[in-house]
Amino acid sequence: MILEFSFNYLSSSLIYEKIILRTLGNFALDYKMLRDKDELFLYVEGSDDELEAFAQKLSLELPHSIFLYATDAKIVEIMPEQEALVLDNKPKLSMPFCPKCLAEVMDESDKNYYNIFHECEVCGYDEGGESRSYKEELTEIAKEIGEGSSVSINTFYGKYLVGKLDKNCSAKEFDIISYDLGTIAKYTNATNSEIAALGAIEKPLIKLKTNVKFKMDFEDVTKELIRFKMPDDLVLHLLLCELNKLGIDLIFISKDEVANKKKFELVEQAKKQEPIEIVVGDNHLAIVSGQKGLPYENLKEDRALVPYIGAFFSVIKEHKLEEKTVAGINLSKDYHNNILIYSKKFGMIEYLSFKFNFDSIEDVFNKITASDESGKKLVENFKNSNPEHFNEIRGIVFEKQEFNVYKLWGIVAIVLGLTKEKKPFNAAKVIEENATLFLGTKGPRIDYKPKRIDSKVYLDPLMCIRTAMSFKLAKIDDLTLCFGVIESFVEFLSSVLDEIKDEMKSDAVVVTGSLLQNRGLFSKLAKEASANHKVYFNKELPIDGRNILYGGNELI
């Protein structure tokens, strides 16, 4: 009998391939492994009992991955004739531990019990440390943390400060590591999809809303949006195991350097790598930042490309869409925003630009006043509702710059009095965070309307600002209003994509840009756009793409 295993696996890291080959080494079975784009196939031939034993073993050995979207197994008649996949000699990745290594370091009867330098052909470390049990040292570190100390430790990807989450926490910027997924579910609003991603072998960071206040002694504020992750190397995993015995299931991890803290340098000359942060929707995810565990050795920077164009084409290349008609949405916080259309037949055109300019807040009010009689009345009512605030912000002058959607949100935040920030880029953060903290299902409808200037189509920023002001006057609360700003923008994008499909017969939609790191925006856009379009994000590159492309073979 021949079994075909198939994996819709969007990573080129070879982790699954290596684990499959390692598992096959325990069986005397004929096999062939093939790769067809994002599909990995394994054909295994043997008796019913042999194949059942292999399938059970493989299910225990293969970890869940954020890049795995579907699996299947079925009986086939013959082995395929294609040449089998040959693994190249890619450099060893800095990958979190695989299930086999985890089982061995946790087994008291195994020679690798609490051995942080466990050797493994898939995920093993090659820093050359002494292979032995490190239980005594890790127990000591846990004791220090349990007594309230912040401790500096070397992990396999950098030096960090770790400690308990309490009022004595000395870190200003930090993430949270949890002992298990149940603890994260208890203290956050993580969705089922986010919990599944947090438990994947890549051990990504995910920014979540907490339902507790982590109040620190360095400033009288609380953090509600914090990045969480599971331990992503053996030092941290075994440390959390010891802390769990002391009743501590959450610790902070920070790059902050604090003098006179106890140091544990079990790992020497740790390689500095940034763990990946992702944003997760129901059926899609995207990498926000980081490279730990990703196959970056095949990538290079190409500074000849305009950043937003480079990001757009990086997705086209990753998904091999060069022969398709593709609509692209660029939503960077830093760069120009627009909607592009690419086709091999006619090249690339800009369908809609989000570029605009204002000199000052007073310029915004003047243009609304001059637009029509209702605009004039709106500004007058807004002024009368809070004269002090109106006079305070009208003098804010903007630097000469090109505005984009994110800076438009910043202007909205300033006008509505949601922040004391005077720079639109900084002010926009409050719109993002408030929208993420919103627990309802629907916000007010904010107007996003296109307008034609000469031969080009732009987004009209005044309509967005005007409707936001109207809802502020109507006493809509800030969280609901901020959610509406982002929700309405996604609905606008979705309607534009539908128009492009009708007019241009587009085959696919590509979305890039750092705005996607907003959990609500990403989740809603992925869901709304997927209803009528095939939507693609970067597979193994950050969402902003910058200007990183495969191999240097540019499309333009």
- Looking at the fold, whether 263 and 162 belong to one and the same domain comes out as yes
Whether residue 215 lies inside any domain: the answer is: yes
Element holding 537 (H helix, E strand): none
Is the same domain home to 438 and 461?
A: yes
The verdict on residue 324 lying in a domain is yes
The verdict on 232 and 145 lying in the same domain is yes
Q: Say yes or no: 513 and 410 in one domain.
A: no
Whole-model pTM?
0.88
What domain range includes position 229? 133-273
H-helix or E-strand containing 432? helix 424-437
Single-letter amino acid, residue 367: K
Asked whether residue 479 falls in the same domain as residue 518, the answer is no
Same domain flag for 515 and 421: no
269 shares a domain with 142: yes
Cβ neighbours for 93, distance < 8 A, ≥ 6 positions apart: 13, 15, 123, 293, 294, 295
- Pair (232, 269) in one structural domain: yes
Rounded Cα distance between 160 and 181, Å, is 22
Q: What is the CATH number of the domain that holds 28?
A: 3.30.70.600
Does residue 233 share a domain with residue 309?
A: no
Cα atoms in the 13 Å half-sphere on the side-chain side of 279: 25
**150 in a structural domain:** yes
Is 47 within a domain? yes
Q: How far apart are CA 291 and CA 328, in angstroms?
A: 24
Q: Cβ neighbours of residue 417 under 8 Å, at least 6 residues apart? A: 386, 389, 393
**What's the structural domain count of the chain?**
4
In a domain, 120, yes or no: no
Q: What is the pLDDT along the chain (556 residues), one digit of tens a residue?
A: 999 999 999 988 889 999 999 999 999 999 999 999 899 999 999 999 999 999 999 999 999 999 999 999 999 999 998 888 887 655 455 688 999 999 999 999 999 999 999 888 888 665 567 889 999 999 999 999 999 888 999 888 888 999 998 766 667 789 999 999 999 999 998 999 999 999 999 999 999 988 876 654 434 334 678 999 999 999 999 999 999 999 999 999 998 876 657 888 888 755 678 899 999 988 899 999 888 877 655 444 443 345 567 788 889 988 999 999 999 999 989 888 999 999 999 899 999 999 999 999 999 999 999 999 999 999 999 999 999 999 999 999 998 777 999 999 999 999 999 999 999 999 999 999 999 888 888 999 999 999 988 878 999 999 999 999 999 999 999 999 999 999 999 999 999 999 999 999 999 999 999 999 998 899 999 999 999 999 999 888 888 754 333 333 333 2
**Sign, Cα dihedral of 67, 69, 73, 74:** negative
Are 554 and 302 spatial neighbours (Cβ–Cβ below 8 Å)?
yes
CB of 418 closer than 8 Å to CB of 482: yes
Write out the E strands in 150-284.
151-155, 158-164, 175-178, 206-215, 222-229, 250-254, 262-264, 277-280
- Give domain status of residue 31, yes or no: yes
